[in-house]
Copies of this chain bind each other. A is one copy, B any other.
Amino acid sequence: MPEPLRVGVAGLGTVGASVVRVLTEKADEIASKAGRPVVVTAVSARDRNRARGIDLSNAAWHVDPSQLARSNEVDLVVELIGGAEGAARACVETAIESGRHVVTANKALLAKHGLAIAKAAEEAGVAVGFEAAVAGGIPIVKTLREGLAGNRISRVFGILNGTCNYILTRMEKEKLGFAECLADAQRLGYAEADPTFDIGGFDAAHKLALLATLAFGVEVDADGIYVEGIASITPLDLEMAEELGFRVKLLGVATRTETGVEQRVHPAMLPKDSAIARVDGVTNAVEIDGDIVGALILAGPGAGGDATASAVIADIVDVARGLRLPVFGVPAKSLAAPTRAPMATHKGGYYIRLSVIDRPGAAAAIATRMAEQGISLRSIVQRAQEPDGERASVAPVSVVLITYATNEAALRAALDAIEADGHIDGTPQVIRIEKR
């Protein structure tokens, strides 16, 4: 029998406990797939006495995860502590310095320090697996890193945050407001007490940064991502989307453009019969557009202890089998410096909802401002306040414009002019249209 792979698990929350449980319960099946036994020899967590429903009697206990990372009883360290700095970062860095392989679910850490970690790991000759850091149980890292080697990828995009997708799905199906759905998500455990990280788009941005690096061979550049959350989306937007043939999703999108890599996280209108548009609830989904494979779609559970553990274990088995790849698929030193395509040059269609002060000439003035910027309108929908067309009051009316592809700078200039004209009330709602 070959030598076992000795695994240390740092962080025993839901995912960590699930990893230990599965490695123990399925030891035979996993050994058969791995070609050698995989044994949990050490763990680290703060509270030794918490009931976790797993047997830790054969594992050494370390209060300090870095001590686990350098201990002689492990060959591979699973980092499930979380956070871009502190204990998590120290644990991963110590593991690599000590020649231990690393498997982590820590998107924040890799989004910030991914390049340095990849360089260190490649110099030390150890593997760093991070399948669990992006889209939970979906094998998107493996697919990008190994499954599409012959492809030049033009775009990778999708639903990377289950909390946002749950909220948008509820808002749409039940015609509820954002705040109410967020409160439900919190009650059900889909959203944190402080939900900013999810609903502000920052969690999706961390994942997108890693996908962009894998897809385009550029250094991780989380700071270069344009980020917008979902808090401004209203039931009216979802209703108008439905009427116009779209659905609204929080997307992470990375595209290769002539001026560099465009990375953005924002609510987007998708044609309602497209694959990503149809993904509901907490499910995640990613589409990869490759020049030879075409459009490939992966969908599945993006979070949850077991689904995330599934990804962690696949990475552990890869290491046990001897797989040693550069962290991001190509050597870290050959990753290109990121060239950021600024949002001003973003090209696409737009949904614009305006509260127009309903007086003669307003519509003409708005249309003129759009035309001045060379923007063509595909649809204009004005909701008459009274079915007989009589003007019932001087309250603003909602006007929705759908533009043909234009660029963001032109659109912003047109909207600034419209605002300055004084025909609209409040700030225009702008939602980008993502092409299929």
Binding site for B on A (CB under 8 A): 18, 22-23, 26, 29-30, 32-35, 131, 137-139, 142-143, 146-152, 217, 275, 278, 290, 292-301, 304, 306-307, 309-314, 316-318, 321-326, 329-331, 334
Contact = CB atoms under 8 A, between A and B. Distances in A.
Contact of A299 (B137, B297, B330): B297
Contacts of A314: 146-150
20 contacts: A26-B150, A29-B152, A29-B217, A32-B330, A137-B292, A137-B294, A139-B146, A142-B147, A149-B313, A150-B313, A292-B309, A292-B310, A293-B300, A293-B306, A294-B300, A294-B301, A294-B304, A294-B306, A299-B299, A322-B322
Contacts of A331: 32, 35
Contact of A150 (B22, B147, B293): B22
- Cβ-closest 4 pairs across A and B: A150-B313, A139-B147, A149-B317, A293-B310
Nearest to A320: B149
A151 B309 CA distance: 10
Given A290-B310, A307-B293, A323-B323, A148 B139 contact: yes
Q: State the copy count for this chain.
A: 2
Given A131-B147, A149-B313, A151-B310, 6 more contacts: A29-B217, A139-B143, A146-B314, A275-B278, A295-B301, A296-B300
Nearest to A140: B147
Contacts of A29: 152, 217
Nearest to A279: B275
Given A18-B292, A142-B143, A150 B30 contact: yes
B310 A34 contact: no
Contacts of A316: 149
A33 B330 contact: yes
Contacts of A35: 326, 331
A85 B311 CA distance: 38
A372 B311 CA distance: 48
Contact of A149 (B30, B137, B151): B30
Of the candidates A18, A217, A297, A318, the one having the most CB atoms from chain B within 10 angstroms of its own CB is: A297
Contact of A298 (B148, B217, B296, B324): B296
Contacts of A299: 275, 296-297, 299
Contacts of A149: 30, 33-34, 313-314, 316-318
A296 B32 contact: no
A72 B217 CA distance: 34
Nearest to A139: B147
A307 B295 CA distance: 10
Contact of A297 (B142, B300, B318, B324): B300
Of the candidates A146, A299, A311, A314, the one having the most CB atoms from chain B within 10 angstroms of its own CB is: A146
Contacts of A147: 131, 139, 142, 314
A306 B294 CA distance: 9
Nearest to A23: B150
Nearest to A144: B139
